[in-house]
Chain A
């Protein structure tokens, strides 16, 4: 079994899994959980893409 994903797809799956787990572990009311998951996912992606762009000048 071999799975090939792009960098972004891998980051998205990773961020989604971690955000869902954190949301369920740290919040109890369903609405709070959803808000936490979405916010955490957004920050994961924002910081991930941000770090990617910050490293861009060093790759050239």
Chain B
């Protein structure tokens, strides 16, 4: 039995690239798909934009609950964080949902889930864009 150890190559950290990656992640959060578009990943950019956009528009059209900062309890705060994940599409949802939420029907309840899922999905996409910019994902 040998006592050899294999050297693991640790890539050098480049502060410039790290800052760029953070900027790309934030851009992807603000406008769904922008983080990937800046890296010329057009298919992923379009998919993120369209899927997050569709979930937001459908959720708002179903009169889902779009949480605000003055929610009052932990669930409302978590819902607000999830909704904020949609970035600028939060404002789109507000403009679509002119007559306010109606969760007395199943449609409104589904709409709430659509909006929250859109936010979490966009955060996932932004994180993916950030990792790709760091060179960790293809």
Contact = CB atoms under 8 A, between A and B. Distances in A.
Contact of B128 (A3, A17, A25): A25
A21 B107 CA distance: 23
A1 interface: yes
Mostly, the B contact residues are helix
A17 B51 contact: yes
Interface residues of B, number: 29
- Grouping DSSP codes into helix (H, G, I), strand (E, B) and loop, the A interface class, with mixed when no group exceeds half, is helix
A18 interface: yes
Size category of the A interface is 10 to 19
Contact of A18 (B50, B106, B117, B128): B117
Interface in A1-31: 1-5, 7, 10, 13-14, 17-18, 20-21, 23-25, 28
Interface of B: 43-44, 47-48, 50-52, 54-55, 58, 60-63, 96-99, 106-107, 110, 113-114, 117, 121, 124-125, 128, 138
Interface of A: 1-5, 7, 10, 13-14, 17-18, 20-21, 23-25, 28
Q: Which 4 A-B pairs have the closest CB atoms?
A: A24-B47, A3-B61, A21-B51, A17-B51
